[in-house]
Structure 1
């Protein structure tokens, strides 16, 4: 059988499979199984994929929890954007709201402490991408995502929305300060 010309009887699926083709099918299958095993291995031992929690919620319920957290823990307001900077208690929970086209509020964390950051969207799908540490979470309305974080280096970290959310998507930036 030629790869360039179709078979003469036009029923190509009834043609016998050659030994070389079986060999390539076997190689592809074995390679697929190796890659599948590597995904499981890297999830468990590679520490590259977050094992986060997610719970059903409503935008109103999550916004109420976040506003309570903000009211209790605000330490100052950023003058350039009029957004509160909120200190998350060490070992505590912090709340971050995604909505067109902003992350609210700005969080302040301490180096070496472990935190649970709760994320939810008020309107559309958004992407939480913490740079430069490359944490990526898709933030979906109606779900509360909980991500455990332990900052290991002081500095200012950028939160970028990496899920297209409309005309103001490119301006949807947030910050996390690590002291």
Structure 2
């Protein structure tokens, strides 16, 4: 028999399994189980992935919540576009909106205090990447992503879109202050 020619019998799964094949299948299965368990371990004990809640929403409903937060907690504006800087109370829900090519509003949070961050996109897929930390969340239109965050470092952090969203993608940078 040649590897070029098709097998004489088409029902290959009815042939007995060779011992070497069985060993390799067992090794592959065992390795898959190890990697599966390691993913759970890394998530729970390694704190490498954020646990997010996701809800269906509409741009209008989310924009109303975000605007209510901005109206209530704005402390100043920054940049030429007059982007509001909000300083919400500790433990509150904070809303961050992605839209071509901006993150709004600028958030001002307190160190070692917990907040619930709500994210959504108003138009296209965007990626929320908090620099220089390793936090990455894909932000999808029509869905509200909720993450509990506790900033543990003071400073100014950049929010970068890491999902290509168009010609001005490189300008989609927001800010987060931790005091």
Please name the residue that 1:64 is paired with. Answer: 64
Structure 1: runs of 5 or more not aligned: none
Please name the residue that 1:174 is paired with. Answer: 174
Structure 1 runs (4+) deviating above 3 angstroms are 7-18
Q: Say which is worse superposed, 16-25 or 103-112, in terms of deviation.
A: 16-25
Please name the residue that 2:50 is paired with. Answer: 50
Map residues 20-59 of structure 1 onto 2, 5 A cutoff: 20-59=20-59
Q: Secondary structure at the match of 1:49?
A: coil
Across the two proteins, how many residue pairs are aligned to each other?
A: 176
Structure 2: runs of 5 or more not aligned: none
Residues 59-96 of structure 1: CA deviation (Å, up to 9, x unaligned): 00110111111011111111344211111211111111
For 1:10 and 1:37, the matched residues in 2 are separated by 39
TM-score by length of 2: 0.90
Please name the residue that 1:99 is paired with. Answer: 99
Please name the residue that 2:7 is paired with. Answer: 10
CA RMSD of superposed structures (Å): 1.9
For 1:38 and 1:132, the matched residues in 2 are separated by 25
Give the drift of 1:8: 5.7
Give the drift of 1:169: 1.4
Please name the residue that 1:136 is paired with. Answer: 136
For 1:9 and 1:113, the matched residues in 2 are separated by 67
Q: Say which is worse superposed, 158-167 or 18-27, in terms of deviation.
A: 18-27
TM-score by length of 1: 0.90
Q: Say which is worse superposed, 71-80 or 118-127, in terms of deviation.
A: 71-80
Asked whether 1:150 is paired with 2:150, we answer yes
